Homo-oligomer: A and B are copies of this chain.
Amino acid sequence: MREVAAEAGVSIKTVSNVVNDYPHVRPEMRARVEQAILKLGYRVNVTARNLRQGRTGLIGLAVSEISLPYFAELADAVIRAGQEHGVDVLIEQTAAVRDREIEALTGARRQMTDGLIFSPLGLGSDEQDLLEVDYPLVLLGERIFDAPVDHVTMSNVVASRAATEHLISLGRRRIAVLGAHPWEQMDTAVLRVRGYREALDAAGIPFDPALIRSVKLWHRETGARLIDEMVSEGVGFDAVFALNDALSIGALRALYLHGMRVPEDVAIIGFDDVQDAAYTTPSLSTVSPGTAEIAETAVTMLMERIAGNGPTQPRYVEAAFQVIPRESTLGRLGPA
């Protein structure tokens, strides 16, 4: 910058002004400086600017695993939203393990970022004090904590009630749930099971605990395993509500291996509307949670907090959802 100033015959401050688009610079000066910048191939040193401004231009995104399609798609959306706001995104993987989530919340990386978007899965709902951090934070998921933190989520109860109602409207009565967390007091799984029960109650369908299958991690393989268990236990069911699409993809595979036809014998609906859900055989009915909207909202909120002009009160936003019926509940839809 000093060299540029010398080349242009102005002070270092003027160069800074030009680089930062400070309005009160004479066009002539500006032109001269820009010339010099071009000639010398000058580029501002971001690190120095950050040091001076106490900002890094980076925000963190902490999720369990980026290789899970839902989080990959979320990361994509967050990176795009960040771009709009002029920040880059540093992704951290927690594997949904409590200690690694705490590390994400308190570790050295928090110093490299101006704020964090965090999807907590391993933290207990009694550990809210961990969320009282001294940097801007936005949580993804239901307000399971009492901590005064911004939350962005979707209407889990209403959405899963709608998904269950879709199955009921098709005449299904024995609807299994995959991925429940009965050991949790409050989390996404709990809320989605609540929506399921509401739908059952409204339709006058008796609740059978044997149909509620629990597993902590919502992966393809655990979805398959839960189906295997039900089959070997001899639990009868004519529909499956998987609490996310990875579970439902695993379930689909297991049902096929057990010779059960989808949807003739068993209808199945998932949650998340990952891209793969449209390409399974049969294609997967699911709930679209408005991932892009969630990402944009979260980034916008975080940027407001970073700029220091958010409201005093923590905010709570629910993105719109949509039930997407496909072949796994409706049957063969014919050539695309």
Contacts and interface: CB of A to CB of B under 8 A. Distances in A.
Interface of A: 43, 45-48, 50-51, 56-58, 65-69, 72-73, 75-76, 79-80, 88-93, 108-109, 111-112, 220, 224, 228, 249-250, 252-254, 256-258, 275-276, 278-281, 283, 334-336
B88 A76 contact: no
Copies of this subunit: 2
A75 B76 CA distance: 12
B67 A108 contact: no
Contacts of A224: 279, 336
B93 A90 contact: no
A265 to B, nearest CB: 14
A222 to B, nearest CB: 12
A76 B51 contact: no
A108 B280 CA distance: 40
Contacts of A108: 43, 46
A257 B281 CA distance: 9
A46 B334 contact: no
Contact of A56 (B43, B47, B67, B80): B47
Contact of A334 (B48, B93, B257, B275): B257
